[in-house]
Structure 1
Amino acid sequence: MGYLTVTFTILLLIHSSSSDLNQDCVQNEKLLETILTSLQNSLVFLGKEYDSLNLDVISGLRMTQAEIKAAFVRTPYLPTESGKGSLQARLAAMSTFIDEIVTLAKPYVYRTLPVYYNNFSELLKKEFWAVSSWNKDHVLLNTPFSFGNNQVEKITEAASDRCLTELLGTGPSKKKCTIASECLAIMEADGYKGYEVTHQLLYFILIDRLRCFSYDRIRHQRNDYVIKGLCSNIFQQASDLSKTEFNGRIDHDLFMEQIAFCGGLLGYKEFLRSDWLNYILSWQLDSGCFSVINSKLSENSGYRRKRMDVKLADGGYGCFGHCTAVAVISLGGYLRETVATMKTCIEWN
């Protein structure tokens, strides 16, 4: 465990503050510190639990690392309120720490589920993930998106995994970018809710990351439009969910997954709302993990105990790796957006 000690020390040299997302430069500097504190505390927690993490959590850390990289390149010199060094140095420390966690965790993941590890190990590579660039056209649709196909069956984890392995080249075909007709029948269908839609979205994200349509501009553009359309639908579901105040439901995890994919990884700013950030921050425990307290963790509740997602050590609270991972990815999106605003503040000055 000594391998992590130095980085633990670096990450703990921070302090907490609070603010809101806005265009006020002073307030955004405080907000940046709040996001950094929350994100770094979560990484420290996951580092301590490296031997209990699953593959989903580790791939989530790689997504977060891609967000940190995107923030890093935009801010070579910005200071932060804490005075603990340049923001660039702090972001570099976080990225290095993620490398360390992944290195330590991978043998335990392989030992637990070797076949699953071999099928999805590409998702653990740093170079696999990149965040989408933001521009004036990178906005959600104003109307609901539809494939025009009726839902044929539920998207189970088994069905989703089967389709994803075909894309990755670890399925029966052993050829990357294999898009099976039975997968399209499931993935290009309407009527899904919750995790089923984020499963759909991940399928098309992998098509993009694997450059499956790089040879065909029309199909590539359609894939981009599908991703935008699914995030548009997910945004409406997340908005509806936020109005429930998550009372007696298991939807902390789902809500953060929706923000993680569409706001964090794909960069749709509509998801990076201040009130939604406040929800996320309120679910973090002192340990750094994120809680599903007041949630009904039954198999029928919709919460995914995915890949043996064991409860992590946190004094008996509802602290799960997947919940913490999607929170970290979400915070990475907020980090990137806030850094972009801070860079604008410097340019104005």
Structure 2
Amino acid sequence: MCKLQNKPPELKDYFCSFTGFHYGNSSDVTAVSSPSLLTLTPSLLFRGETAPSSQLLSSSLLLLFQSRSLQAGIIGREKMRAAAHTLAAVLALFAAVSGSQAEVIDDILSSLNRGASFLERQHEHINLDGVVGFLMLQAELKEAVRTWPHTDTVSWAQRTTAVALVKRLDQSFEKAVTALQQNDAKYYREFEPLLSWSFWLIPQGWSSTDASLVYSSTMTTECYDEQLSDKCLTLLLGTWKMNGTPCIVTKPCRDTMTQFGCPHYSLSHQLLYFMIGKMRGCTNLLKGDTRPSRANMTERSYEKIFCSNMMKTNQDIIKDGLTEQTVDIFIENILICGLAGFSDFYKADWLQHILRLQDEEVGCFGRDKSIISQIIGDELLEQLQPHRRVKRREKILPDGCSSHMTAVAVGALGGYLNYYLAEQDITKRPLS
């Protein structure tokens, strides 16, 4: 089953039986003369007899340890057995953690599949924010598929599920975007650049928020309304007029989007303003800001300040208990700050809060069955007033589902998926 090079024949049986290598013929495992080198021949991996990865790693490390001990002659059999047991315990713990993470990824993919079914049924009714949230998810899924560490059958099956999900979403987006264009042509044109998954950039590295950046006090009401936010975004996107110049930053927009102390949606949209500017390719968003107190501020500085305060908001929401009034902004903060690269928003217990909010029947998030009859009446009124502007931030659908909450929830889940897949990549761990 195995052979030793430059080893006394009387050690062969002990060495081979102790390591437990029983895969293939004698050429499969070779302990070489160098105490620091161990080789496994490729034939082990390509005959359909591959050992489980943890077992293979355990045996490989044990073989290396024994090679060293036999040559040095200072470690006895009992010490080697103790070392083997310790190694086995470590590997068992590693396998348990990996298995637990695989289960979480299964839960995320299952939830996203139900969300995709919801989009397939409601693509004609979902508003612009709803479609954008699903497009953020699509960008995250495509990145996940591209980088998926498919090292075993379970992981490979999960990747296959993600690939199928991407295809389903692609088919729904074409219909949803067409419906948006028909329902509100002007609004569609103003935000058309956002209606492509390729616009949304996925973080390639992680940072953490800083509690010392939390405001000493915040305003009790929003700092600005949706109309001002929309105007500033169209100036960045270049859609403020036909063939408009992009990356325009007016003083009112700059002052508004860099104002400290804003709460809730004003705060999250300040962050979104900087993110969209970066994704649009705009540079020097802060050019012209002559305030001495802001002289050393960068765009990333603002992002960190905003997300640090959004983290405090979410922590307070959890401390006080999630309510119908706070759950939407809670999830939106996870989505946007996660997309900005702040990994401390991807908390395991926050993920469970999101998963529990999904309606098992229709797959959306934030469903209120008690108002379905009222919504049907509103939908009829909307049909009688075809030029009535659909509010971007929220729209309750005929089945009682929240378009906005569903959008931010699926987007946040896509962020969790990418984070879990990238967690083992040392280059993407949080920066201090």
TM-score band, normalised by shorter chain: 0.7 to 0.9
> Counterpart of 1:89?
160
Residues 152, 125 of structure 1: CA spacing in aligned structure 2 closer, same or farther, 3 A cutoff?
Answer: same
Q: 2:341 aligns with which of 264, 267, 280?
A: 267
> Counterpart of 2:299?
223
Q: Describe how 1:28-43 pairs up with structure 2 within 5 A.
A: 28-43=101-116
User: Does the alignment pair 1:284 with 2:358?
Assistant: yes
Q: CA deviation at 1:238?
A: 0.9
User: Does the alignment pair 1:68 with 2:141?
Assistant: yes
Q: Is the 8 A contact 1:152 1:189 kept in 2?
A: no
Q: 1:245 aligns with which of 321, 325, 329?
A: 321
Separation in 2, partners of 1:291, 1:343: 34
Separation in 1, partners of 2:227, 2:198: 26
Residues 220, 88 of structure 1: CA spacing in aligned structure 2 closer, same or farther, 3 A cutoff?
Answer: farther
SS in 2 for 1:339: helix
Q: Which range is displaced more, 159-168 or 223-232?
A: 223-232
Residues 276, 64 of structure 1: CA spacing in aligned structure 2 closer, same or farther, 3 A cutoff?
Answer: same
Q: CA deviation at 1:294?
A: 10
> Counterpart of 2:190?
119
Separation in 2, partners of 1:343, 1:178: 37
Q: Describe how 1:143-292 pairs up with structure 2 within 5 A.
A: 143-144=212-213, 154-171=223-240, 174-213=244-283, 222-247=298-323, 249-263=324-338, 265-286=339-360, 287-291=362-366
The one-letter code matched in structure 1 to 2:278 is: D
Q: Is the 8 A contact 2:267 2:310 kept in 1?
A: yes
Q: Deviations over 1:258-279 (max 9, x none)?
A: 111112x223111111111111
TM-score (norm 2): 0.64
Q: Which range is displaced more, 61-70 or 72-81?
A: 72-81
> Counterpart of 2:131?
58
Q: Deviations over 1:203-233 (max 9, x none)?
A: 111111112117999x998112211221111
- Higher Rg: 2
Q: In percent, how many aligned pairs have the same letter?
A: 31
The one-letter code matched in structure 2 to 1:310 is: K
Q: Is the 8 A contact 1:153 1:186 kept in 2?
A: no
**How many positions carry a matched residue from both structures?**
306
Q: CA deviation at 1:77?
A: 2.1
Residues 171, 79 of structure 1: CA spacing in aligned structure 2 closer, same or farther, 3 A cutoff?
Answer: same
Structure 1 portions without partners, runs of 5+: 1-21, 297-304, 345-349
Q: Is the 8 A contact 1:151 1:189 kept in 2?
A: no
Separation in 1, partners of 2:274, 2:116: 28
Residues 221, 114 of structure 1: CA spacing in aligned structure 2 closer, same or farther, 3 A cutoff?
Answer: same
Q: After the TM superposition, which parts of structure 1 deviate over 6 Å for at least 4 consecutive aligned residues? A: 150-153, 214-217
Separation in 1, partners of 2:320, 2:247: 39
Q: Is the 8 A contact 2:222 2:266 kept in 1?
A: no
> Counterpart of 1:10?
none
Q: Is the 8 A contact 1:311 1:319 kept in 2?
A: yes
Q: Is the 8 A contact 1:162 1:171 kept in 2?
A: yes
> Counterpart of 2:45?
none
Separation in 1, partners of 2:406, 2:153: 25
Q: CA deviation at 1:188?
A: 1.0
Q: CA deviation at 1:172?
A: 5.2
TM-score (norm 1): 0.78
The one-letter code matched in structure 1 to 2:246 is: K
Q: CA deviation at 1:313?
A: 4.0
Residues 212, 39 of structure 1: CA spacing in aligned structure 2 closer, same or farther, 3 A cutoff?
Answer: same
- Which structure has more RCO (C-alpha within 8 Å, separation ≥ 6)? 1
Residues 330, 153 of structure 1: CA spacing in aligned structure 2 closer, same or farther, 3 A cutoff?
Answer: closer
Q: Is the 8 A contact 1:28 1:342 kept in 2?
A: no
Separation in 2, partners of 1:308, 1:322: 6
Separation in 2, partners of 1:190, 1:167: 21
Separation in 1, partners of 2:96, 2:342: 18
SS in 2 for 1:170: coil
Residues 122, 258 of structure 1: CA spacing in aligned structure 2 closer, same or farther, 3 A cutoff?
Answer: same
The one-letter code matched in structure 2 to 1:133 is: Q
Q: Deviations over 1:68-99 (max 9, x none)?
A: 12222221524565x9x633322222222222
The one-letter code matched in structure 2 to 1:74 is: T
